Amino acid sequence: MYEWDLTPFYPSFESEAFKQDGAKLFVMVDELIAFFNHPDAKTKVGWFLEEVLKKQEDLHRLSLQVMSYITLRSSANTQDFEAKKAMVAMQGLYPKFALLDNKFKNYVKDLADLEAVVASNPILKEYAFLLQETKAELQHTMSEALEVLASELVQNGSSLWSQMQRHLTSTAEEELDGKKLSLTELRNLAYSADPQVRQAAYEKELAIYERIQEPMSFAISGIKGEVNTLSKRRYFASALDEALFKSRLSKPSLDALIAAMQKYLPAFRKYLLHKASLLGHKGALPWYDLFAPMGKAEKKYTVEEAQAFILKQFGTFGEELRAMAEKAFRERWIDYLPRKGKVGGAFCANNPALKQSRILTNFGGDIGDIITLAHELGHAYHGEQIFKEALLNSHYTMPVAETASTLCETITKRAAYREATSKDEKIHILEQELQDDTQVIVDIYSRFLFEQAVFSAREQSIPSAKELNAMMKDAQKAAYGEALDANTLNGGMWINKSHYYRGGLSFYNFPYAFGLLFAKGIYAKYMEVGSSFVEKINQLLRATGKMNCEDVAKLIDIDITKTEFWEAGLKMIAEDVDEFIALTK
């Protein structure tokens, strides 16, 4: 009931369906690579491109089904030996995918009249953005041999470092009050109403970090060093430039976002200092009280109550959103509860092959856990919209990936605030939102600064765990300023966040700030226009796989290169800070 159902993917690793599909993947990719030697490839360009894209979709569909099953099994239980074995068996595919990608790019490279071919072919028009993006990627592609080699080395480099991070952080335990608790369980205690429990859990969390920090320092250095090397080889000025390219986001848009965030840091610090005074601290807020609950909402929700709450709030937005959530609950798309071996945090994996999603959470029964569930269901809703597009147009990038999820968060929290029947309950809900906003703006800014610092340090050396802890604390000081107690910062946060350990996806931090403020702008328009704006939002979500971020925003008349747009969303948060202070005086 509380674990997800993966049988729509495969019954098991031992099933004939999984074995056959795994073997079929190798055959399909080899056949497609060989297809580029077809005698009509250069004379019947329109036909050949159509065939290649069709075969790529078939390959991508099967690959998504096989690889998602392996990843989901591994996430639910990092000690799943069969999942590890299957992952190793599939590693041989990655060099083949790299070779296929290179052959496709080189074919497109040699087409002098690509635009004319696309314009004259109704089927290819649907893939116009993909083909133009492929042409742009050629400027950042190594030779065929080097791309294949890089893919092979990544499987023995960042891929394994990432798995080690997942293993160490999911299996480490510390004893608290006579009970062994995982890192996820300890971090969940940061929301406890008991200040002694919060502090004790924080100290145990730090103890785990201290115990595993040395191997983790090599893991993060290995990954960032690998990215630095490959970024340069692919003619990117830096890892950040590569992240922006992959995000389909321009540097002026990121600069505008960061500038707006920096301008509004004082508003967040005002909130944190006020919270410190409410908790009885004489000055700055200790790290372990960042998530201390305020007001009174002591109710613990069951999974069923959380489901009912979300269905009610989603229904205020639209029937399609509510129906999607109901289907997710009914068809068991969600793995809810924390347990040893399960990865921490939460995620949603869209699967266009099955036109379904799967969600992992570590539900503890608090209102914050309901908000997290709503966030991940927002990703699933994005998936429902993108499933209506061609499969090869289903890839959307990091910044817009957080749009629907943050929109669903906003819907849920704002509706809950409006329905609150007491002042204490309003305080609790509003402060919960400010906690989340502070994480997405202030803490994300610290993570952005930290990742920049690590990439820079890796150009010169291999930072020790001690140096990484200092970098993390320096970043936290720059972001939180005088609002956080400098003696209780959390230098081990680089160990816990899995986003730092993805070789193919650097700087997965600023997209959260992008998503929050972009979603707030969309929500404001929705509140102004009403239900007729929902279809506009759906169109925007469907377009995220075939437009850059700036063009997606233009669909609803937003210019994200202007700081003023981002400041409008931050102003809404600053107003919430003022309301919170007024409510708690």
According to the model, what pLDDT value does residue 298 have?
Answer: 67
Question: Does 34 fall in a domain?
Answer: yes
Domain count, the chain: 3
Question: Does 510 fall in a domain?
Answer: no
Cα 568 to Cα 441: distance, rounded to the nearest angstrom: 14
Same domain, 404 and 533: yes
Q: Name, in order, each residue with C-beta under 8 angstroms of 35's C-beta and a sequence gap of 6 or more.
A: 51, 52, 55
422 CB burial (10 A radius; 0-12, 13-18, 19+): exposed
Give all strands (DSSP E) within 77-218, no chain letters: 173-176, 179-182
Exposure on the CB side of residue 397, measured as CA atoms within 13 A: 23
User: Looking at residue 484, which CATH number applies to its domain?
Assistant: 1.10.1370.20
Domain end call among 134, 156, 178: 156
Residue 216 lies in domain: 166-293+434-501
Cα 512 to Cα 94: distance, rounded to the nearest angstrom: 29
Same domain, 184 and 103: no
Cα 45 to Cα 113: distance, rounded to the nearest angstrom: 10
Same domain, 184 and 285: yes
Same domain, 280 and 420: no
- The encoded tokens of residue 79 equal 């000690």
Name the residue among 89, 90, 86, 35 with its Cα closest to residue 58.
Answer: 35
Question: Does 418 fall in a domain?
Answer: yes
- The encoded tokens of residue 292 equal 């201390």
Cα 92 to Cα 401: distance, rounded to the nearest angstrom: 29
Say if residues 570 and 267 touch (Cβ distance below 8 Å).
Answer: yes
Q: What is the pLDDT along the chain (585 residues), one digit of tens a residue?
A: 899 999 999 999 999 999 999 999 999 999 999 999 999 998 999 999 999 999 999 999 999 999 999 999 999 998 899 999 999 999 999 899 989 998 998 899 888 888 899 999 999 999 999 999 998 888 898 888 898 899 889 989 999 999 999 999 989 999 999 999 999 899 989 999 999 999 999 999 999 999 999 999 999 999 999 999 999 999 999 999 999 999 999 999 999 999 999 999 999 999 999 999 999 999 999 999 999 999 987 678 899 999 999 999 999 898 999 999 999 999 999 999 998 889 888 999 999 989 999 999 999 888 778 989 999 999 999 999 999 999 999 989 888 988 899 899 888 888 778 877 789 988 988 998 899 899 999 999 999 999 999 999 999 999 999 999 999 999 999 999 999 999 999 999 999 999 999 998 999 999 999 999 998 888 888 888 888 899 999 999 999 999 999 999 999 888 999 999 999 899 999 999 999 999 998
Same domain, 262 and 332: no
Same domain, 267 and 338: no
Same domain, 261 and 335: no
Q: How far is CA 256 from CA 64, 319, 510, 561, in A?
A: 35, 35, 12, 6
Name the residue among 452, 439, 407, 393 with its Cα closest to residue 254.
Answer: 452
Question: Does 567 fall in a domain?
Answer: no
Cα 493 to Cα 470: distance, rounded to the nearest angstrom: 11
Cα 264 to Cα 529: distance, rounded to the nearest angstrom: 28
Where is 308: in which H helix or E strand?
Answer: helix 303-315
Question: Does 574 fall in a domain?
Answer: no
According to the model, what pLDDT value does residue 563 have?
Answer: 95
User: Looking at residue 141, which CATH number applies to its domain?
Assistant: 1.20.140.70
Say if residues 564 and 435 touch (Cβ distance below 8 Å).
Answer: no
Same domain, 130 and 33: yes
According to the model, what pLDDT value does residue 143 have?
Answer: 87
